[in-house]
Amino acid sequence: MFQRRMRLQIAGLLVILFAPIPLASGTLASRSERSINARAASTPSLQPLLARHAALKQKLAQLAPPQHYIVVDTAHNRLYVKRGKETVLTAIASTGSGTILEKPNQPGSQWIFDTPRGGFSIQSRLTNPVWVKPDWAFLEEGIQVPSNPAERVESGILGDYALGFGKGFFIHGTLYTRLLGKNVTHGCIRLNDDDLRTVYKLAKVGTPLMIF
């Protein structure tokens, strides 16, 4: 008799213990995002929130460039041309060296040779560009800065094309292709001839350029 009562109590205990299992496994099964969203969508109070979420996502997507855009990773010296999520071109580049050059006769004033980081756009497209050498180019070489502007012009240095993105910075070619992949420039972005040609073809004035 005692044993029978004991067994009944144990059976009751078993029911209590294992009753939550279907509930628990049901809960676990519902952890996937799809089913949560489905349940959320069916909950009246969540519908406006989810609608707002979808609208914001769409708004954000609309801010992305609809055509080609250029991304430059200055830490790894890479330039990418992308369209949507597709990468159209991956190129090895050279970007700013980050070094400093003191300006003569101007204590505390200096040039910092960094590639600027941020959001830009292509402002000019040049073929057969010439380099108008800035003061620092002469000073680095230990040459007197010329008073005649014509003496600053040097051709055949920048490759076949140059794409300006503001404040004197360009994406251009280089004679020093062995230095591609290194931080050696005065702020411009250098590419080899083939990659430069592709970028020139794909990029228009207004093409977004993102540098990080």
Partner 1 sequence: MTFFVLIVSLSTLVWPSTVIALDASPQPADRSSAIIQVNRLLEEEVKLAARPQIYLVLDLDASVLIIKSRGIELHRVPIQAWRRDGDRSIEGIYRLRARPAVSRPKAAPADDTSVTAIELQHMPDQYELVFDPGVVIAVSPLQERPWIRLKRAAQDWWNGMRHRLRIGDTDVGTSAVRISIMLEQEAARSLAWTATDGMPILIGLTTLP
- Applying CB under 8 A, among 92, 126, 139, 157 the residue interacting with partner 1 is 139
Rounded distance, CA 96 to CA 115, Å? Answer: 5
- Applying CB under 8 A, among 8, 13, 132, 175 the residue interacting with partner 1 is 13
Torsion of the alpha carbons at 136, 141, 143 and 146, rounded to the nearest 10? -40
- Determine if 10 is a binding residue for partner 1 (CB under 8 A): yes
Find where tokens 């369209």 sit: 83
- Determine if 156 is a binding residue for partner 1 (CB under 8 A): no
- Determine if 8 is a binding residue for partner 1 (CB under 8 A): no
Rounded distance, CA 178 to CA 175, Å? Answer: 9
User: Phi and psi of 158, rounded to 5°?
Assistant: -95, 5
Shortest CB 196 distance to partner 1, Å: 21
- Determine if 150 is a binding residue for partner 1 (CB under 8 A): no
- Applying CB under 8 A, among 1, 15, 23, 150 the residue interacting with partner 1 is 23
Size of the site for partner 1 (CB under 8 A): 63
Applying CB under 8 A, the span of 37-45, 125-133, 146-154, 190-198 interacting with partner 1 comes to: 37-45
What is the residue type of 103?
K
Residue 128, Ramachandran bin (φ over 0: left; ψ between -120 and 50: alpha; else beta)? left
The alpha-helical segments, DSSP class H, found in the chain are 2-18, 20-29, 33-42, 47-63, 135-141, 193-202
Binding stretches for partner 1 (CB under 8 A): 10, 13-14, 17-18, 20-21, 23-25, 27-28, 30-31, 33, 36-37, 40, 43, 45-46, 49-50, 52-53, 56-57, 59-61, 63-65, 69, 71, 73-76, 97-102, 104, 112, 117-121, 139-142, 182-184, 208, 210-212
